[in-house]
Amino acid sequence: MMLGRVAIIAAMLAGSFPATAVEVTVSASPVTQFKDSGVDEPVDSLIFRGGIALVSQDDTFGGLSSLAMTGPNQQVVFASDRGNFVTGQLAYDDAGRLFGFIGTRVEPMRNSRGELLPRQYAKDAESLDTVYRDGEPVAVRVGFENLTRVADFALTDGQPGGPAREVSIPDWLMELRTNESLESLCIAPPASPIAGSTLLLTEEALDEDGNHRGWLLGQRDKGPIGYRNSPVVNPTDCAFLPNGDLLVLERGVSMLSFVMNLRRVPAAEVRPNNLMAGELLLSATGGSIDNMESLAVHTAPDGELRILIGSDNNFNDWQRTLLLEFALVE
C-alpha cells in the first residue's frame, strides 16, 4: 500500500470487516488493450494475453495486494490490506482467455491464538506465496507491513485459514514499523539454486548505497540480499519462474499517474550478499494500469506459462481492480 496514512484511515472507516468467511459476487469485464497492443500481440518483451477488471458490490472485496496459486483448476488466493484472504477460481474460455473470477470467498486472517487481528495496524497484509511440500500446496506464507512480520496459514482444499504460525525474520526487519517496509515475498522453486528459500524485499528500507534491503530465509541460503533502486518506482511484489529466474514488479507514481515496471533477475543472481539488478521486461504508465501490486506465475489451462499482474484499488471507487495476463517471449 503506498498512499500513506490517509489511505490507511480511509480503509479503516470504509466498509465492514467480516468476522467469518463470506461469499461475495464479483463481476468481470474484459480488458482487451494494453498500451498499444491488443490480445495476443507483443508488448515490450512480453505478449499480452488479455485480462479482466473486477467489481463487487460487497465492500469486503478490494485492496488486493498480492496473489498466489493454491491448487488445481486455477485456484488462487489474494492477500487484502484489510487482513483478509480473498479466494476463488480464475475462469477461462475455450480459447484460453481469462474471463472471470468465480467462487469468491473473503475470510479474515487470524493471529497465532486463532483470534481476529485486532486493528488495521496489524492487518496490513502486502505479500504472500504458496508453501509446497512434496509437490503439494500445504500453506500460504504472508508478509505484513506496519506491524512487520511473516506468518504461515494452513491450506485446506486450496483455502487458507486457521491460526497464524509465526515465521522468524531478522530483528532489523521486524523493527520497521511503517507501511513501506515488507512489500514482497516469494519462495524459490525446486530448479532454483536456493530452492525452498523465501525471499523478502522491502519497499523503502534502503542500505548505505541507496538500494532496497532484502533477506533470504533458508537453511543453507540465509542472509542479506539487495535489489537495485530505480527512480520513481519501488518493488511491490515478486514471483519466481519455474527455472529459478526471479520476476520483480515495481510500482510508483509520476506526474499524478501510476507507473509499473516488471524486471527479470537471472537465477544465479538470487543469492545472499548480492545486489540484484533485473532486465526490464515491461513498463507502463497511464490508463493501461492502476496501482499494480500483485504478481504470480502459473500455467494456463492450455499449458502456456503465464504472468498475472494485479492492482490494489485501496478500496477507492476511483481506482480499479485489474488482473492482466502476459506470456513470455522465449
Is residue 152 within 8 Å of 168, Cβ to Cβ? no
**CA–CA distance, 47 with 326 (Å, rounded to integer):** 5
Residue 11 has pLDDT above 80, yes or no: no
Instruction: Tell me whether strands 42-43 and 37-38 are parallel, antiparallel or unpaired.
Output: unpaired
What cell does 185 get? 515475498
Residue 17 pLDDT = 60
Architecture of domain 4-328 in this structure:
5 Propeller (2.115)
Task: State the average pLDDT for the chain.
Answer: 93
What is the C-alpha radius of gyration for the chain, rounded to an integer number of angstroms?
18
Is residue 248 within 8 Å of 262, Cβ to Cβ? yes
Residue 209 has pLDDT above 50, yes or no: yes
Per-residue pLDDT tens for 35-85?
999 999 999 999 999 999 999 999 999 999 999 999 889 999 999 999 999
Q: Following DSSP, what letter does each residue of 293-327 receive, concatenated? A: EEEEEEE-TTS-EEEEEEE--TT-TTS-EEEEEEE
| pLDDT tier for residue 330 given thresholds of 50, 70 and 90 | confident
CB atoms within 10 A of CB 285: 17
Q: What is the pTM of this model?
A: 0.93
What cell does 64 get? 488486493
Per-residue pLDDT tens for 147-194?
999 999 999 999 999 999 999 999 999 999 998 899 999 999 999 999
**All structural domains of the chain with their residue ranges:** 4-328
Q: Which residues contact 315 (CB under 8 A, 6 or more apart)?
A: 10, 11, 14, 15, 59, 62, 63, 82
Residue 15 pLDDT = 41
More confident residue, 26 or 8: 26
Residue 18 pLDDT = 77
